[in-house]
């Protein structure tokens, strides 16, 4: 079901942008955050995070720099850009509209 898949990817992107809106972090931290926030319910393989990050970097939604972690390791830190913030806002609005439209039907009210 391609529409569903697309939606999932859009959701993953939006969630990543959401994470980064709190501050820069490396890929592992993003993955950990996703796992915690969704109670591991969102079963995405860790690996699928990276193409998403690189795609968003290509599209100018995130930027990245190499830096040091607290433990002194070299890691790539991702940052949200202004363009990324705008996208996040748009995704959120769209999702809210989607929920408002669908939930009365699926859940009753």
Partner 1 sequence: MSRAGRGGRQLASFLWRASTRDEVDADIAFHLDMLTEELVRQGMPEGQARAEAMRRFGDLSAVASESRRLADERDSIRRRSEWRDELGQDAVFALRQLRRAPGFSAMAVFTLALGFGATAAVFSALYAVVLQPLPFLDAERVVALRPTRKGEMTGGTTAEYFALVDRAKTAFSHVAASVETGFTVRVGNTPELTGGARVSADYFRVFGIMPLLGRGFTADDDVPGRDGVVVLSHAAWMRRHSGDPNVIGRAISVDGAPRTVIGVMPASMDFTANADDLWVPLALTREDALRQGARFLDFRARVRDEVTIEQARAAATQVIRSAIEADPQRRSTAADFGAAVRPLIDELAGDYRSLLLILLGAGGFVLLIAATNVANLLIARGSVRARELSIRAALGAGRRRLLRQLLTESAVLALAGTVVGLALAFGLLRAVLAVSPEGVPRLDQARVDLWVLGFTLLCAAGSTLLFGLVPALRLTGNNLEASLRAGGRALRGGRDRLRAALVAVEVALAMTLLVGAGLLIRSALLIQRVEPGFDATGVYTARVLLPAAQYGDPADIRRFYDQLHRESSQLPAVAHAALVSTVPLSGNSASSSVRTEELGPDDPAPLVPNLRLASPGYFATMRIPLRVGRDLAPGDRVDAPHVMVVNELMAARLWPDVPLRDVIGKRLNAIAPTMEQPNWWEIVGVVGNVRSEALGAEPRPEFYVPIAQTPDLLWPYIQRSLVLVARTRSDAIAAATLERPLRAAVTAIDPNLPIAEGMPMDDFLRQSRGRLRFNTLVLGTLGGIALLLAVIGVYGVVSYFVSQRTQDIAVRMALGATPANIWAYVAARGLLPLAAGVGLGVVLSLATARLLEAQLYRVTATDPLTIGATALLLLGVSVVAMVGPARRAMRVQPVEALSA
Instruction: Pick between residue 55 and residue 89 the one whose CB is nearest to partner 1.
Output: 55
Looking up tokens 């993955």, which residue turns up? 31
Residues at the site binding partner 1, with contacts judged by CB under 8 A: 26-28, 31, 45-48, 50-51, 53-55, 57-58, 63, 65-66, 73-76
Q: Which is nearer to partner 1, 14 or 29 (CB)?
A: 29
CA atoms of 49 and 35, how far apart (whole Å) = 12
b/e burial code for range 80-92 (CB count within 10 A of at least 16 → b):
bbeebeebbeebe
For the bound state, the minimum distance from the C-beta of residue 44 to partner 1, rounded and expressed in Å, comes to 9
State which residue, 33 or 95, has the beta carbon closest to partner 1: 33
């Amino acid at each position: 079901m391609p529409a569903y898949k697309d939606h999932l990817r859009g959701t993953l992107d939006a969630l990543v942008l959401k994470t980064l809106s709190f501050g820069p972090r490396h890929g592992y931290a993003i993955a950990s955050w996703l796992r915690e926030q969704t109670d591991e319910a969102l079963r995405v393989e860790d690996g699928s995070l990276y193409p998403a990050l690189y795609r968003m970097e290509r599209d100018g939604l995130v930027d990245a720099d190499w830096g040091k972690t607290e433990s002194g390791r070299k890691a790539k830190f991702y940052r949200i850009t202004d363009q990324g913030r705008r996208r996040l806002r748009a995704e959120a609005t769209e999702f809210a509209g989607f929920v408002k439209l669908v939930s009365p039907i699926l859940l009753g009210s």
